[in-house]
Chain A
Amino acid sequence: MAVAVGRKASQSEDLRNLNLSGHVGFDSLPDQLVNKSTTQGFCFNILCVGETGVGKSTLMDTLFNTKFEGDPATHNEPGVRLKARSYELQESNVRLKLTIVDTVGFGDQINKDDSYKPIVEYIDAQFEAYLQEELKIKRSLFNYHDTRIHACLYFIAPTGHSLKSLDLVTMKKLDSKVNIIPIIAKADTIAKNELHKFKSKIMSELVSNGVQIYQFPTDEETVAEINATMSVHLPFAVVGSTEEVKIGNKMAKARQYPWGIVQVENENHCDFVKLREMLIRVNMEDLREQTHSRHYELYRRCKLEEMGFKDTDPDSKPFSLQETYEAKRNEFLGELQKKEEEMRQMFVMRVKEKETELKEAEKELHEKFDRLKKTHQDEKKKLEEKKKEIEEEVSAFNKKKALLQSQAQQAGSQPTKKDKDKKNSSFT
């Protein structure tokens, strides 16, 4: 229970039982409540799970004495899909918004491993929608159209032997999420003695596999008895029919065979009346309540725990929702900041790396060119040396020439002017 924080001590915390000296009038409270509910209207959502052709639509029509929409499905569906339709019904002054969800294609595939998944997903999606609404800051729960599944009618094929493995697997996946009411469909194909064995087999298989089906409540004295007696007949063997046959002087819903007429509402023929009684007339409100207070709470708890919310800290002080949100939010923001930092750091590192790389390349380049320069200078030097060489040779030669010339002149042998000129000219 929530603990109040710092409440002023009250005078009398104990609950006093007082007697009234007259008629006060608060015994009208239940009526006030009922009036309000009736004005608002009621809401009920049924999920029908069963193979194609097992009689789901017919049974719905029979239960609610009307023709709901829908063409019969084919066996060619590639997978299981859920089809939901809502109807507005009214009986005396009571308005009911009924939603029937059908599993189209259930049991038709060769590989049925994943058949249960769309069903579980659908149920969870409705819980999620409600949870989201409940968690909104500005919410309107009192006129929220409740789409959560209140009852799941599981149609068992009338093989007469036992449950199919698909049935066990599916029911096991659904039993913690929805109120399962198992029914034997097309029960007019099973003989009476086989039926009894079939029912026992089914119930024992359910028990041994730990499948939790919906328990009709026996805690209220007004309904305890009827619920107890009816429970014995589970799973209900039903027959559905929208066609009427004349029996005696009345028209009744029935199926006509050459060997007799199966009357839907005859309790000796099938358990249809029991199903209607339990599902609609006695326990509809309980089914809705169980969905809300048990299955939905379980979903909510798991979802919140998944997101990391918890109720108490080690000191056993309950967290207020704000604190939890704030804490979560801060954690979350911290995470985001960390990620940002990480990314930045990574970039800084990359930049550094690249810088070093480029610097290296630059260095190499400079080195290369330094080498080239050196080579170049060496070459230049060599060139200079060679030049010097040549110049020396030239000057040596010139000296030699000049010497020879002067010698020639001194020697007096007059080489002809022509030769002199020749010599001279060759040096220009």
Chain B
Amino acid sequence: MIERPDSVVGSISRNLDGYVGFANLPNQVYRKSVKRGFEFTLMVVGESGLGKSTLINSLFLTDLYSKEYPGPSQRIKKTVQVEQSKVLIKEGGVQLTLTIVDTPGFGDAVDNSNCWQPVINYIDSKFEDFLNAESRVNRRLMPDNRVHCCLYFIAPSGHGLKPLDIEFMKRLHEKVNVIPLIAKADTLTPEECHHFKKQIMKEILEHKIKIYEFPDAEEDEDRKLIKKIKERMPLAVVGSNTVIEVNGKKVRGRQYPWGVAEVENGEHCDFTILRNMLIRTHMQDLKDVTNNVHYENYRSKKLAAVTCNGVDATKTKGQLTKSPLAQMEEERREHVSKMKKMENEMEQVFEMKVKEKKQKLKDSEAELERRHEQMKKNLEAHYKELEEKRRQFEEEKMTWEAQQRVLEQLKLDASKTMEKNKKKGKIF
């Protein structure tokens, strides 16, 4: 007899009377994760000239985009491309394989219909790769090339979202974590920026676009922080590749005749918030949401399409909770019972027909027997009649013959007497 741990009943709580040591588990996990290294795929989407490459360089404090590796705005082709660059960066013993995916040509044509399609195709192909790798019989360590986050750059018009922005985000929000950013935010005054943000959020709500949401924190102070961040969405960012000296400090910024817009100054723009959120606190969560939500959505849709092929729609709902193999098993069982039923039916019909036929045969046999009997009886009756007749006839014959004999005798006697009488002369 095998018992499975009864998680329905619930496990029992126990207090420990001394140090056991499994509090060390987090350290073990830490160690192993550092050894494995980390991967992250970041997608940047937006029209050319919005400062995407500069922002990436500022975020990661490295020359990801440079003269040798120009940014998307320098690489515009005739159609929208989706291209990636992989870099390996190390910090504090932690290795990160960072993949930046950009989309040169996005939104830059005169007719931008379907310019999101290559992006969707790219994301789906990464999901498909992962699904296939996960579904192999022989699985090896699977690299996670799925897109974990998409930074969408909104032009700082100050008014609202463009139709292209809305269309893109609507199509992508269920495939990837979308984080909208207001690009080149140093062209907006704080009031304009505030108004712009409100307008954007209003439109996002209107169009039911699901942008990436920060998970609620456990502790109160974190919760307050997150609330503050949420109020500043979408983040208005400024990027810079140059370091300028301001008040004796070296800062990244953009030098204008009227002053320096500092990238890392929280009052100038939301860059710091973006960096902290994207890299320092929520990078892992972005990966988790991609894995647990977006990928699972893709997977279940893909697999439902396969296994529910040819099955009518009324059955599909219940089948989503089963693995395709279990489903095949069930189908097999269903079929076996169907066959049994069919067999029984056919057997019944067969028996019935046979019975019928046999009965008919019996009946006609009986009928024929009957007739035969009747005819026999008839014949016998005739025979008897005939016998009777013959007997009668014989009797008659005999009687008549006897009579004849008697008559003959009488005759003889009579003639004799007559002779006698004649002789005697009495009769003439």
Contact = CB atoms under 8 A, between A and B. Distances in A.
Given A25-B280, A33-B33, A138 B320 contact: yes
A394 B4 CA distance: 110
A142 B220 CA distance: 26
Contact of B89 (A18, A122, A132): A18
Interface of B: 1-7, 11-26, 28-35, 38, 40, 59-64, 69, 75, 81-94, 96-97, 118, 122, 125-126, 128-133, 135-140, 142-143, 218, 275-276, 279-285, 288, 291-292, 296, 299-300, 302-307, 309, 319-326, 328, 331-332, 335, 339, 342-343, 346, 350, 354, 357-358, 361, 364-365, 368, 372, 375-376, 379, 382-383, 386, 389-390, 393, 396-397, 399-400, 403-404, 407, 410-411, 414-415
A358 B361 contact: yes
A285 B25 contact: yes
Contacts of B372: 369, 372-373, 376
A286 B32 contact: yes
B17 A66 contact: yes
B321 A383 contact: no
5 contacts: A23-B91, A29-B284, A343-B343, A386-B386, A415-B407
A83 interface: yes
Nearest to B397: A397
A383 B125 contact: no
Contacts of B69: 11-12, 16
Contacts of A209: none
B91 A26 contact: yes
Nearest to B104: A11
A81 B379 contact: no
Contact of B307 (A91, A118, A329): A329
Contact of B1 (A2, A66, A81): A81
Contacts of A304: 137
Q: Count chain A CB atoms within 10 A of each CB in B4, B7, B64, B143 and give the residue with the most.
A: B4
A89 B14 contact: yes
A365 B361 contact: yes
Please provide the 3 A-B residue pairs with the shortest distance between their CB atoms, ordered closest to farther. A27-B92, A135-B323, A321-B135
Given A5-B128, A325-B307, A87 B11 contact: yes
A94 interface: yes
A388 to B, nearest CB: 11
A284 B26 contact: no
Q: Count chain A CB atoms within 10 A of each CB in B30, B324, B375 and give the residue with the most.
A: B324
Nearest to A340: B339
Interface residues of A, number: 151
Contacts of B376: 376
A280 B30 contact: no
Nearest to B393: A394
Interface stretch (A162-170, A186-194, A305-313): A305-313
Given A65-B17, A91-B19, A222-B31, A86 B350 contact: no
B12 A87 contact: yes
Nearest to A66: B14
A415 B140 CA distance: 143
A39 B280 CA distance: 18
B19 A65 contact: yes
Nearest to A351: B350
A289 to B, nearest CB: 7
Contacts of B91: 20, 23-27
Interface stretch (A107-115, A200-208, A254-262, A418-426): A418-426
A136 interface: yes
Interface string A96-137: 110101000000000000000010011001100101111111
Contacts of A328: 328
Contacts of B31: 220, 222-223
A426 B400 CA distance: 8
A249 interface: no
A147 B5 contact: yes
Q: Count chain B CB atoms within 10 A of each CB in A23, A33, A325 and give the residue with the most.
A: A33
A229 interface: no
A320 B128 contact: yes
B18 A65 contact: yes
Contacts of A340: 339, 342
A339 interface: yes
A208 to B, nearest CB: 31
Contact of B390 (A4, A18, A365, A390): A390
Q: Count chain A CB atoms within 10 A of each CB in B142, B275, B284, B328 and give the residue with the most.
A: B284
Contacts of A85: 5, 11-12
Q: Count chain A CB atoms within 10 A of each CB in B2, B129, B346, B372 and give the residue with the most.
A: B2
A362 interface: yes
A53 interface: no
Contact of B11 (A4, A33, A88, A354): A88
Contacts of B5: 45, 84-86, 99, 101, 147
A246 interface: no
Contacts of A126: 4
Contacts of B20: 63-65, 89, 91, 276, 280
A17 interface: yes
A232 interface: no
B292 A369 contact: no
Interface in A333-368: 336, 339-340, 343, 347, 350-351, 354, 358, 361-362, 365
A414 to B, nearest CB: 9
Contacts of B296: 138-140
B15 to A, nearest CB: 7
A88 B285 contact: no
A326 interface: yes
A10 B145 CA distance: 14
Contacts of B393: 390, 393-394, 397
A413 interface: yes
Contact of B143 (A1, A134, A383): A1
A85 B7 CA distance: 9
Contacts of A315: none
Nearest to B9: A86
Contact of B13 (A88, A404, A413): A88
Given A1-B143, A64-B14, A311-B138, 18 more contacts: A6-B125, A12-B69, A15-B87, A17-B89, A21-B61, A26-B96, A27-B94, A45-B5, A64-B20, A82-B1, A84-B3, A220-B35, A336-B332, A343-B342, A376-B376, A397-B393, A408-B407, A426-B399
Interface string A45-62: 100000000000000000
B189 to A, nearest CB: 29
B304 A137 contact: yes
B24 A281 contact: yes
A270 to B, nearest CB: 17
A326 B309 contact: yes
Contacts of B396: 426
Given A20-B91, A24-B279, A25-B276, A387 B28 contact: no
A37 interface: yes
B343 to A, nearest CB: 6
A34 interface: yes
B335 A32 contact: no
B14 A122 contact: no
Q: Count chain A CB atoms within 10 A of each CB in B20, B38, B138, B285 and give the residue with the most.
A: B20
